[in-house]
Structure formats: structure tokens, C-alpha cells
Structure 1
Amino acid sequence: QDGHSHLLASTIPNIRTYDPAFAYEIAAILHDGLIRMYRDGEDVFYYITLQNESYPMPSMPESVTKEEILQGLYPFRRALEGRRENHVQLFGSGSILLEVLRAQEILETRFGVSADVWSATSYLLLRRDALATERWNMLHPEAPPRRSFLETQLAGVEEPVIAATDFLKAVPDQIARWVPGGLTSLGTDGYGRSDTREALRRHFEVDAESITVAALYRLARMGRISPTIVTRAITSFGIDPERIDPAIA
């Protein structure tokens, strides 16, 4: 398990880090890198994490722009059957986005909760832009305040956000202060292990079932659903609530 490299890379000022899920995202990032580094001679370099998991590669949705991919966040799939009374936002990166999509289906079909799924290609770039925007606003107190890309993307989003990643929880935590509805990060904190993908994702609690439980728990904390529903979900998914925290296991 490589859970820390994106966090370590965030200490380098001129690096651009990405954790893409699909081929069209990779194509957009590589094209941008060629232009910046080779055509324009910009003093930047890229860190891109890729997986060897085999899964279908969709075409780039017509609603998605290259700039959204490059800046770090875009809506990949809205609620399957429209927005319901209980609604959440799900962020996914890399191959974990597949688990997020599966969680979207579980939430809707089994619990009547709708969810929008977002592809988070770069938490670092989202954070940098948000910090730069805050700095500009602070130094120009009499000017109309600017909005960061993240704030623009999440305009009107008040529901809880669950962010699942193959990396440490601290990676999505980088943007927590700018998420209006609050952010719950699921990641692979803990010692590295060797096992099947399914077993590792269950161990680190980043599989679809764990994402579903996190979403239901946030709704319960908001008083939108009964805590009993969360307990039933935990039981039905075969999750042991007394197991040791994977961060120290």
C-alpha cells in the first residue's frame, strides 16, 4: 500500500499531483504537462498515480471540461433517479471511484438516499487555489472577494461530503475547511499490507459498503435518518464494529 506519497508530494511548491480514475483524465493531464513543461518551458513537474486494476474506461462526459479535470474536481455522475429528500455528495479518486459509484447504487436502491458522485483528481491543487484565493481576498479587503475553484464547484452544495481515497485520510482532509456541508474522509491510514483488493479495501474501510455506512452515519448525525438504520447497514454488510482500528492494526 502506498498511502502517503500524495501527502509527501504536497510539500513541493512546483509539483502538480493527480490521482486520475479514467483514461480521458490521464490524457488531459498528460497533454497539459507536455504544453507546460515542453512547449512553454514552465518550471513545474507532475506526479500521477496510476493503478493496474482492469475496469471499463468511459468516454469523457459532455458536461465535463478539461479545466475541471486539471483543477481537481468535477461531477462525474449525478443522482441516479433524481435528488431525494436525503442526499449526500460522494468524492472518489483513482480506482476507488468505482467503489464510490457502487456506494451510490447501494444508497439509492437499499436506503432511499440519493447521491452525486464527483471525481477528485487533485486535492492538492484544490487546496493551493483555495489558499491563494484567501490570501488575495485578505490583501484586497475593499475589493469584491474572489471565489476559489473549489468554492465555485461546490456552490449550493450543503449536503455532507464523503471522500474516499486509496491514500491517507489527510489527503482529502486538505480541503475540509472549504466544504460547506462538512467532509468525512475515508483512507488507507495504517501499516502496509498484501492481500486481494477486496480484502484490503474492506480492511481499510474504503470499500463501497464502508462508504455507504459513512454516508448514512452523517445523515443520522444530522437527524435526517434514525441511527438504527446505520446499525442495520453495519450488520447487513458484515462489518464488525468492535474490530481494531485499521490505522493501528
Structure 2
Amino acid sequence: MSSHTHNGPRPSASTRAAAQACLARMAARRSGAAHQARESPAAMARGLARTLLAEAGDASHLSLVKGPGADDVPDAGLAAAWPLRFGGAEPGHEKPLLYFLRASAASALRAACWETQDRGIILNLAETTPSRWTKGVMPDVPVWLNAYLPCTPYDPASADEARAILRGALQALYVDGDAGCCYLTLHGDDAGADPLSEPDAQAAWRGMYRIGPASADARIRLCGAGKALSRVIQAAGWLRRDWGIDSEIWSCPSYTRLARDAGAADRWNGLNPLMTPRTSHLDACLNGDARPVLAVTDYHQPIAGQIGAHVRAPFVAVGADSQAREHARPADAQWLVAMALRMLG
């Protein structure tokens, strides 16, 4: 789902109408209850599914699959996406697809993508249950997601981030006609985040947005994805309190999208040197100055590290394997403070 190409199936008028009906229902649900910004991403997605299915007529606007392990998702009558491939839908009509599952292995995600023909929005609830693996998935899952180009993976930190990404996916796939599918890992913790402004919601869909206003006094930029963001914010507080160091904080729901779009912009600029250069979202966010950048993920380090080639500043990535490679675990706030101080010398 590149910001520069729209090479998917051309949506029919009925497909666009179905997606717009879902988007309108999402907007009504958000405006109707201010407390919903305090939900977890998983609770928001389940509640949204109930809302869409409960409204009269919305079954004609949405296909919802309750896949393996998604026991707490509303029963929509579909346990797999195969009937959608071989059913008798009118030619050219494609309803928006939400596919809930709880999958810890890449093989299960590959099967879901095969079922859906690499279309739709896949919502993985694996992070909501205890697991020996960080984020509830085996280490090969983020590697496969990163390498599988038809799928754009996201790791939202809050309910409002997840809602913004779902809105962006519905618009891109079923209104604009972008190719591919969208993947979200949904955790069950209430991030306690404030509601996103509309510009921040659009920036979250593109891969990252700044939390709070820009600060000329900030000496380092701290980036976090998913549940790691709360520890990034905690580390920023300790840096300020104990060391007098101000930080700029960025939420990065998709390091993979940032890296893919930055790479695509670099390739286009290299092939078209006489044209106006394209600027990626990552470039616009981080490449205005040379302050160090510390990027954090609860996956293994290379997932955050993939943006490093496109950051024109001192850069360090931290992942679940950064503190103890034998027993991967999320980097704690103290470790992030130590890494930030080391970068600042």
C-alpha cells in the first residue's frame, strides 16, 4: 500500500459504498463515546465489529471472519474466508473484510493470506494472551511480515491508533483501490492515550507521528511501537527528571511501512534525477536535523532497525533481543535511558 501507487483491483461503486458505510459507522461510534479512546486496541476492534454487525443492513457492507482462536469475537457466521472466494457474489463486488484470528506462527498467517487472496484486514489477537514469545508470536512472524510485500503490518499502541489504521485501510483498499492486505497485532492493555487529532490519525496510517509539540530543546528523538511506546514515554520522563535531557517522542505503528516507502522514494529519485524529488513520510518526520534517533520495538531489533538506512542522523535500534539474546524480552525503560545517554555521549 504505497503512498504513490494504486495498482489493486478497481473498486466497484457497491464496494466503495460498502466501505464508506463502514467508515461512517466508525466515525459515529467514536464521536458517540469519548471514553472509547481509553480502550485497548483489541477491545476497540471487538467493539467495532459488534457495532457494525448489530446495525441493520451492515451485514451487507462487511464480511467478518472469526478465525482460529478468536473466541471472544462476535459470531458472524464465517469461520474462514474460503466461502468468500468461491461464493456467488456479484461480479466486481468486494465487501470490506475483517479477519480476526489468534495466530502465533507465520504458517497460520500465510494460510490466512492465502484464504483471503491477499485482500482485507487481518487482526491478530495473539498478544492478548500470555506466551513465552514476545508479543505472543514466534520470532519468524515479524520477519515474514516484513518480507511479504503484499501485506503491510502495523503494531498500534492505543485504541485510537488502531482505529486510525483501520480507517486508513478501509479507505485505501476499498475506496482508493490499493493492492494488498493490512495486518494489525492487537494487545489487550489500555494505553491511556489521548484521542488522536485528524492529522495525527492520518500520519499514524502512514507509519509514524509525533506525540506532543516539537521542541527546540529536545536533544534526542525516541521512537516506539505498540506496547513499547509506554516505556519510551517513561524513559523520556526519567531523562528529563534525572538528567535534564529533553526528548522528542514519536509513535511508529509501522516501521515496515516507513522503510518500504522510504526505499521506494529513494529508488524513484535515483531513476528520475531531473524530476522533483519525492519525500517519504519518514524523511519528512526525521530528516530535518541531525539529533540522534533511538527506535524501539518489542519484536527483535531488525524490525526497528530497517529504517536506519534512511535516517540521516545517529541511529540505534532496540528490540526484544537487545538486553538478553538467550531469553528475549522487551527492553525496559532503564535500558532505554542507558542507551539514550550512550548515544548522547
* TM-score for the superposition, normalised by structure 2: 0.56
C-alpha separation in 2, matches of 1:119 and 1:185: 14
Is 2:337 aligned against 1:218?
no
How much has 1:36 moved relative to structure 2?
3.4
Report the equivalent of 2:180.
44
Q: Which moved more, 1:172-181 or 1:208-217?
A: 172-181
Report the equivalent of 1:66.
201
C-alpha separation in 2, matches of 1:37 and 1:156: 31
Report the equivalent of 2:277.
145
How much has 1:171 moved relative to structure 2?
0.5
Report the equivalent of 2:241.
109
C-alpha change, 1:144 and 1:35, in structure 2 (3 Å) is closer
Q: Is the 8 A contact 1:4 1:167 kept in 2?
A: no
Higher RCO, 1 vs 2 (CA within 8 Å, ≥6 residues apart): 1
Q: Is the 8 A contact 1:10 1:124 kept in 2?
A: yes
Report the equivalent of 2:258.
126
C-alpha change, 1:130 and 1:42, in structure 2 (3 Å) is closer
Q: Which has the higher helix share?
A: 2
C-alpha change, 1:159 and 1:40, in structure 2 (3 Å) is closer
C-alpha change, 1:149 and 1:41, in structure 2 (3 Å) is closer
Structure 2 segments unaligned to the other structure (5+ residues): 1-132
- CA deviations on 1:197-220 (whole Å, 9 max, x unpaired) are xxx44xxxx111111000000111
- CA deviations on 1:115-142 (whole Å, 9 max, x unpaired) are 0000011111111111111111111122
Q: Is the 8 A contact 1:151 1:178 kept in 2?
A: yes
How much has 1:33 moved relative to structure 2?
2.2
Report the equivalent of 1:243.
none
**Secondary structure of the residue that 1:94 maps to in structure 2?**
coil
Report the equivalent of 1:154.
286
Larger Rg: 2
**Secondary structure of the residue that 2:233 maps to in structure 1?**
helix
Structure 1 segments unaligned to the other structure (5+ residues): 194-199, 221-249
Report the equivalent of 1:232.
none
C-alpha separation in 2, matches of 1:207 and 1:69: 24
How much has 1:39 moved relative to structure 2?
4.6
Is 2:311 aligned against 1:179?
yes
Q: Is the 8 A contact 1:75 1:118 kept in 2?
A: yes
Aligned length: 206
Report the equivalent of 2:90.
none
Q: Is the 8 A contact 2:287 2:311 kept in 1?
A: no
**Secondary structure of the residue that 1:130 maps to in structure 2?**
helix
* TM-score for the superposition, normalised by structure 1: 0.75
C-alpha separation in 1, matches of 2:212 and 2:333: 16
C-alpha separation in 2, matches of 1:40 and 1:114: 40
C-alpha separation in 2, matches of 1:219 and 1:61: 32
Is 2:200 aligned against 1:76?
no
Q: Which moved more, 1:1-10 or 1:125-134?
A: 1-10
Matched residue type, 2:206: Q
Percent of counterpart pairs with the same letter?
A: 31
- Runs of 4+ deviating beyond 6 Å: none
Matches within 5 A, 1:25-36: 25-36=161-172
Correspondent of 2:153 among 4, 17, 31: 17
**Secondary structure of the residue that 1:91 maps to in structure 2?**
strand
Q: Is the 8 A contact 1:96 1:165 kept in 2?
A: yes
How much has 1:55 moved relative to structure 2?
3.5
